[in-house]
Chain A
Amino acid sequence: MKSGFATYRAPPSVAEVAAQPCPATRRAILASAPNGVLACPAMLGRRVLGKLEEVVGPHGLLVRPEHVLVYECDGTTAFKSPPDAVVLPRSTEEVSGVVRACAEAKIPFVGRGAGTGLSGGAIPSEGGVVVAMNRMNRILSLDVENRTARVETGIVNLEISRGVAANGLFFAPDPSSQSSCTVGGNIAENAGGPHCFKYGATTAHVLALTVVLPNGEVVDLGQRRESVGYDLVGLFIGSEGTFGIATAAEVRLLPLPEAIKTCLATFPSMVEACEAVSDIVALGILPAAVEMMDRATIEVVEAGASAGGYPKDAEAVLLVEFDGAPAGLDRLEREVGRICRRRGAVAFLAARDATEREKLWKGRKAAFGAMGRLSTDLYVQDGVVPRTRLPEVLAKVDEIGRKHGIRVANVFHAGDGNLHPCISYDGRDADEKRRVLAAGSEILKLCVSVGGAITGEHGVGTEKAEYIGLMFSDADLGLMRSIREVWNPDGLCNPGKVFPTGQGCGENALGRLASGGGAWI
């Protein structure tokens, strides 16, 4: 590919390409573009582009390769597939108009929030149109008495809590990416986060939805009050963008806790830390969050800018948080401290104020990002195991890593047994790649074999589509497919997700994953 200032020629204009009635000619024009066109609106004829532009206006439509490039992947940069066009609608009506245009022209489309997802769930696997919801980012109304807010789904998760904090309320789902991810994405994936141990995942906090169905029709599902009929809101949440595009949501808000107690304990081994968690759970008082990191993770975090002040020689760090009335929290701190010391903790401390608390959390929340420094590529898994099997599973994960000569760093939600084994590797090294593939596959199988699940909060998406058969029979998947057909009969809405594509086994899926480039952020 030649490039450089002297030889630079603008890529063909959309009009120029779209004016060609024949798709083959359109492709030929684009292929001849001198500056290496990565994506092209080859799939979209002039009529469709014209229609999209009519709906969202010229500033709401992106087709130039350099503009749509950023939409080719989500948080798992390993999967890439560029869209033909990106639209940035400003209203439910515009989303409906876009979807209708796509449906009529039989063009695939996918809704997208901030693109922070970790399963390749928002990538346009078959090209087509990305419906980027980022302009629909308002809190439309707030009902303090009923503790609900109506929001557009492109709003960033944390912006809801910021917007209602003055009223003493907050929005509970808190994925690590909450300062950038959108509520629409949380809804698609039924996102969790550290505090969903106590408060539940996104599904517990959404009362009603406005959805653009894959034929362009707009439906209102659920009510702020109790309603009748099948729980379509519950069914939609976690459908990974394959049932339609949610444009607005009535979210449930919770009163800000009176007080929060965050404790940090360091242990000489993971097993002892896990035993401490068991004892804490057996107290009969649900912590708001229980997070754990192993030595490999601690080292990476402490070497980075977002150090949490964790002791670097610890084998395991346990972060436990309770919230509620201040009087009870002091007693809980004492009880948790006693439990941790009894289980061999070498250090135990509790944050004295909000600054200290933030510092303890900072390292945990930055853990994934810090891993990016270790190597060129990072593979984060999301398996879940019954909590009491954690010590045994962690030992086996370690064994699997050693067997394949790779280092697995563990950072996870210990309260609910949701593991995030992180494997840093260099995708350019074919042998290392092969070993990562094998280890990743073994870890997922291990989780399922002890009665767990392949994903706790990231979703199946593209990444784990070939693995869902580990958990479900053909009949189970058949039922899920038939439910998808009800919503999305033509399969145009986010194709290639959740179900095996039949293009290969899990190893191949990981093969595709590992062949992608770039460090995960």
Chain B
Amino acid sequence: MTSGDVRPLLEEANARPPAVSDPTIDGMKPPLVLEPGSAKAAGATLSFCHREGLAVVPCGGGTRLHVGNLPARLDCYLSSAHLTGVASYQPGDLTVSVEAGTPLRELQSALAEGRQFIPWDPPRADSATVGGVLAAGEPGFRRAPGARPRDLLLGFEALLADGTPVAAGGRVVKNVSGYELTKLLVGSRGTLAFLTRVHLRVRPIPETIVTLAASFDDLEPLASSLSSLRSGVATPEVVAVVDPAVGTSLSLKGWVLLVRFEGIDEEASGDCRKVEQLPRANDVSRLEGSDADRAWNVLRDFPSPDSGSESECILLGQVLPSDTMRLVGRWQVHGSLVAYPEAGRLYSKTDDPEAYWSLLESAQELGGNAILESGPQALKSQLDVFGETPGGFELMRKIKEKMDPKKILSPGRFVGRL
């Protein structure tokens, strides 16, 4: 692995061999897990890895590490497990500063004391870390502008590939001092830098959260109800389309439209009436308390791989919101699915390895794209799991080259195998 003396690294970095509980990437684990106890030690660790040319995969809770191309190299995980804690929280400022390795649920319970929260519900939320959610850019079912990681990350402290500490943005809710590097880091999947501390904008916990489930015999009446809902003035926080297979696990029958309102009492109850009057639903019911929580948790965790299934593929189609139901219509035969029409997203789980190509083709016909979030190694080795080559890819390549010239941060895993 390296020609140099690794002892300083092992001490500074709390190095250990991988454990059973450590996440795998395409069935692989690196020979070393580095768990530095401070941002400073993490800097020294990364600087060592950089000198030695070790391929480092930054790792939070390890809940989304499966998303990405097959690693070009994999020498160690750089874990944020010991970079935890809320550094400062001032509810009146609507901001919080938190170490990147802090579990999201820990942050949420700290914020709950100020009647605030971060509107993220990523898959396997109990294990996810704040830094991990930001790096994956995966907030879960709420994706309205204002709620996404890119909207709420105000500033960060991070380590560059060579271990240099840098900061960008700030701690206040409004700030245009310097370039918007926060946007660059969100969703960069550990390919540009290692987050150590982040400053977030928080939200007040809404006065009311209401969940309504409308069930339909078929997709067609659901789609027509959905479009009447979309053309009205009701502003649901989340709208999800759930197929009968997933619906069963929510104890609901047929195709289900799950609608979630958050806000003030009067507004939510007014919006609920609009859903209750949807003309073509068989039944509209209000899910209360734990039933509602259970339903959203099923949707939240839907895009997580089931451990034990070797052939399982998790697919994500991305189209314009108005094309979502068309994509659902073309897709439904292949597997179970949950779609979010407001975001133009369709998640599907299937054991059919050909399904990805079929989804990609359907999405492309609608001007969209499809991502293979998880799948057998044999399939992943044949393709770029992110589907399309995005506009400005050459700029992305240059940014990666500039920030990580030795290609040590999650090499090969990003879009275009960056």
Interface residues of A (CB under 8 A from B): 143, 145-146, 189-190, 192, 196, 198-201, 203-205, 219-235, 237-239, 252, 255, 258, 278, 281-286, 324-325, 327-328, 331-332, 384-388, 413, 416-418, 451-460, 464, 468, 471-473, 475-477, 479-480, 482-487, 498
- Which single residue of chain B is at the shortest CB-CB distance from A210? B391
Q: A238-B179, A454-B177 are in contact. Are A230 and B184 (CB under 8 A)?
A: yes
Q: Whole-angstrom distance from the CB of A4 to the nearest CB of chain B?
A: 47
Q: Whole-angstrom distance from the CB of A333 to the nearest CB of chain B?
A: 12
Q: Whole-angstrom distance from the CB of B327 to the nearest CB of chain A?
A: 11
CB-based contact B320/A228 at 8 Å: no
User: Taking the complex as formed, is B190 at the interface, i.e. its CB lies under 8 A from any CB of chain A?
Assistant: no
User: Taking the complex as formed, is B233 at the interface, i.e. its CB lies under 8 A from any CB of chain A?
Assistant: yes
Which of B21-29, B45-53, B260-268, B351-359 contacts the other chain?
A: B260-268
User: Taking the complex as formed, is B170 at the interface, i.e. its CB lies under 8 A from any CB of chain A?
Assistant: yes
20 A–B contacts from the bound complex (CB under 8 Å): A143-B322, A145-B230, A145-B322, A146-B320, A189-B176, A223-B390, A225-B321, A225-B369, A231-B183, A235-B181, A238-B176, A285-B204, A324-B267, A327-B266, A387-B173, A416-B174, A479-B166, A480-B168, A482-B403, A483-B184
Measured CA separation A327–B179 after assembly (Å): 42
CB-based contact B391/A234 at 8 Å: no
Q: Most chain-A Cβ atoms within 10 A of its Cβ — which of B91, B386, B391, B416?
A: B391
The 0/1 profile, CB within 8 Å of A marked 1, for residues 142-172 of chain B is 0001100011000000001000111110111
Measured CA separation A89–B16 after assembly (Å): 61
CB-based contact A486/B398 at 8 Å: yes
The 0/1 profile, CB within 8 Å of A marked 1, for residues 389-403 of chain B is 011110110110011
Measured CA separation A384–B179 after assembly (Å): 16
Measured CA separation A286–B94 after assembly (Å): 11
- Which single residue of chain A is at the shortest CB-CB distance from B172? A384
CB-based contact A204/B398 at 8 Å: no
CB < 8 Å neighbour of B267 from A327, A386, A452: A327
CB-based contact A475/B322 at 8 Å: no
Q: A255-B235, A328-B266, A483-B184 are in contact. Are A451 and B171 (CB under 8 A)?
A: yes
Q: Whole-angstrom distance from the CB of A153 to the nearest CB of chain B?
A: 17
User: Taking the complex as formed, is B371 at the interface, i.e. its CB lies under 8 A from any CB of chain A?
Assistant: yes
Q: Most chain-B Cβ atoms within 10 A of its Cβ — which of A225, A252, A486?
A: A225
Measured CA separation A258–B166 after assembly (Å): 44
CB-based contact B172/A284 at 8 Å: no
Q: Whole-angstrom distance from the CB of A243 to the nearest CB of chain B?
A: 9
CB-based contact A456/B391 at 8 Å: no
* Residues of B close to A146: CB separation below 8 A: 320-322
CB-based contact A200/B164 at 8 Å: no
CB < 8 Å neighbour of A203 from B180, B192, B265: B180
User: Taking the complex as formed, is B188 at the interface, i.e. its CB lies under 8 A from any CB of chain A?
Assistant: yes
- Which single residue of chain B is at the shortest CB-CB distance from A498? B178
User: Taking the complex as formed, is B343 at the interface, i.e. its CB lies under 8 A from any CB of chain A?
Assistant: yes
* Residues of A close to B171: CB separation below 8 A: 386, 451-452
* Residues of A close to B264: CB separation below 8 A: 285, 324-325, 328, 331-332
* Residues of A close to B399: CB separation below 8 A: 230, 483, 486
CB < 8 Å neighbour of B172 from A196, A278, A417: A417
Q: Most chain-B Cβ atoms within 10 A of its Cβ — which of A199, A235, A471?
A: A235
Interface residues of B (CB under 8 A from A): 90-95, 115, 145-146, 150-151, 160, 164-168, 170-184, 186-188, 192, 203-207, 230, 233, 235, 263-267, 270-271, 318-323, 343-345, 367-369, 371, 386-388, 390-393, 395-396, 398-399, 402-403, 414-416
Q: A200-B146, A232-B392, A459-B176 are in contact. Are A386 and B93 (CB under 8 A)?
A: yes
* Residues of A close to B94: CB separation below 8 A: 281, 387
Measured CA separation A451–B172 after assembly (Å): 8
CB < 8 Å neighbour of A472 from B167, B180, B188: B167
Q: Whole-angstrom distance from the CB of B263 to the nearest CB of chain A?
A: 7
CB-based contact B145/A480 at 8 Å: no
Measured CA separation A219–B318 after assembly (Å): 21
CB-based contact B184/A284 at 8 Å: no
- Which single residue of chain B is at the shortest CB-CB distance from A456? B174
Q: A235-B180, A453-B170 are in contact. Are A282 and B393 (CB under 8 A)?
A: no
Measured CA separation A143–B230 after assembly (Å): 13
Measured CA separation A145–B391 after assembly (Å): 24
CB-based contact B177/A453 at 8 Å: yes
Q: Whole-angstrom distance from the CB of A65 to the nearest CB of chain B?
A: 33
Measured CA separation A346–B397 after assembly (Å): 60
Measured CA separation A471–B176 after assembly (Å): 12
Measured CA separation A384–B177 after assembly (Å): 10
CB-based contact B207/A285 at 8 Å: yes
CB-based contact A417/B178 at 8 Å: no
Q: Most chain-A Cβ atoms within 10 A of its Cβ — which of B181, B264, B271?
A: B264
Sorted from nearest, which 7 A-B pairs have the closest CB atoms?
A: A234-B183, A284-B204, A328-B266, A327-B266, A229-B390, A388-B92, A325-B267
* Residues of A close to B321: CB separation below 8 A: 145-146, 225
Measured CA separation A454–B91 after assembly (Å): 22
17 additional A-B pairs beyond A232-B392, A325-B271, A472-B168, beta carbons within 8 Å, are: A145-B322, A201-B174, A204-B151, A226-B318, A228-B390, A229-B415, A235-B180, A237-B180, A281-B94, A286-B204, A331-B266, A451-B171, A455-B175, A456-B176, A475-B164, A476-B167, A483-B184
CB-based contact B396/A230 at 8 Å: yes
CB-based contact B178/A460 at 8 Å: yes
